[in-house]
């Protein structure tokens, strides 16, 4: 009987999703109260539209990725869908507003909203990655619990056969402890990430929350990794114990 524990990598933290660069410094544009410099207005519009298109492209790729992630809970997937949809709609409307604005001062204010009002790279994509990572941890921990049950059945059979399973059981207990800590560390990560908005990020608390849940998710991953290592060691110890009896491999 072969028992496999889930493997976790740092890729869970990002889910293969692309995180772009920081927002352009539109606020640094000279805010002259005039409709004069036509060339400047045209160039600024082009830059702003490119910034919006880049964000819409990243949001679209993120949405496609989310659709293929089975570990996402229905509630979390629906919430992420709503956040992405509303962000895309807002950026699309902003794009129309920018296209129709020829006053340079007003145009700068509109362009500044690309970052401050939507925070694609500092809020939306990070909260997506964190939510996916949190659901992956929950799924892995649940799978680990199932494998522990399977392991315990094998231990009972080994004991009945007269094997000394003390070493294997001790390692098994360590693995269980790591899984419990991982689940505890992961508790609230998704809810915390999904509760952040561009406005709360701009005001400060949102950024703190994202940093906090990011740290909690890293801790959960570390505990899962330790649990996997102890689980593998427990399996090997049980195999050795059964092998000493000349019985079949576990």
Q: Is residue 173 part of a domain?
A: yes
Same domain, 82 and 39: yes
Secondary structure class of 34 (helix, strand, coil): coil
Q: Is residue 13 part of a domain?
A: no
- The tokens describing 78, both together, are 């629906």
Q: Is residue 163 part of a domain?
A: yes
Q: Is residue 4 part of a domain?
A: no
Q: Once rounded to an integer, what is the mean pLDDT over residues 180-206?
A: 97
Same domain, 250 and 148: yes
Same domain, 31 and 110: yes
The residue from 73, 92, 118 where one domain ends is 118
pLDDT > 60? residue 42: yes
pLDDT > 50? residue 21: no
For 49-68, how does the pLDDT look when each residue is reduced to its tens digit (9 = 90+)?
A: 999 999 999 999 999 999 99
Same domain, 111 and 84: yes
Among candidate residues 63, 88, 90, 96, the one with its CA nearest the CA of residue 77? 63
Alpha carbons 236 and 3: distance in angstroms, whole number: 10
Angle at 116 between CA 113 and CA 120, to 5 degrees: 100
What local confidence, expressed as pLDDT, does residue 245 receive?
74
Q: Is residue 234 part of a domain?
A: yes
pLDDT > 60? residue 32: no
Same domain, 237 and 136: yes
Alpha carbons 139 and 55: distance in angstroms, whole number: 30
Which has more pLDDT, 244 or 226?
226
Specify the number of domains making up the chain: 2
Same domain, 144 and 229: yes
Same domain, 32 and 110: yes
Same domain, 132 and 248: yes
pLDDT > 50? residue 5: no
**Would you call 161 exposed, middle or buried from its count of C-beta atoms within 10 A (0-12, 13-18, 19+)?**
middle
Which pTM was predicted?
A: 0.80
Q: Is residue 66 part of a domain?
A: yes
Structural domain harbouring 108:
19-118
Q: Is residue 12 part of a domain?
A: no
Same domain, 172 and 93: no
Q: Is residue 27 part of a domain?
A: yes
């Amino acid at each position: 009987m072969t028992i496999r524990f889930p493997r976790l990598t740092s890729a869970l933290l990002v889910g293969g999703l692309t995180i772009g660069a920081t927002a352009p410094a539109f606020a640094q544009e000279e805010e002259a109260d005039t409709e004069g410099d036509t060339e400047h207005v045209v160039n600024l519009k082009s830059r702003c539209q490119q910034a919006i298109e880049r964000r819409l492209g990243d949001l679209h790729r993120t949405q496609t990725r989310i659709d293929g992630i089975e570990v996402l809970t229905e509630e979390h997937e629906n919430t992420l869908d709503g956040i992405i949809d509303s962000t895309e709609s807002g950026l699309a409307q902003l794009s129309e507003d920018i296209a129709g604005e020829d006053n340079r001062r007003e145009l700068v204010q509109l362009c500044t909203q690309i970052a401050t009002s939507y925070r694609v790279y500092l809020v939306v994509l990070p909260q997506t990655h964190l939510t996916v990572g949190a659901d992956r941890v929950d799924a892995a921990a649940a799978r680990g619990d199932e494998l522990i049950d399977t392991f315990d059945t094998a231990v009972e059979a080994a004991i009945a056969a007269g094997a000394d399973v003390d070493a294997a059981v001790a390692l098994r207990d360590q693995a269980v402890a790591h899984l419990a800590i991982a689940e505890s560390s992961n508790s609230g990560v998704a809810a915390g990430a999904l509760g952040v908005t561009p406005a709360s990020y701009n005001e400060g608390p949102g950024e703190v929350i994202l940093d906090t849940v990011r740290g909690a998710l890293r801790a959960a991953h570390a505990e899962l990794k330790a649990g996997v290592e102890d689980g593998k060691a427990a399996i090997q110890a049980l195999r050795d114990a059964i092998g000493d009896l000349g019985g079949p491999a576990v």
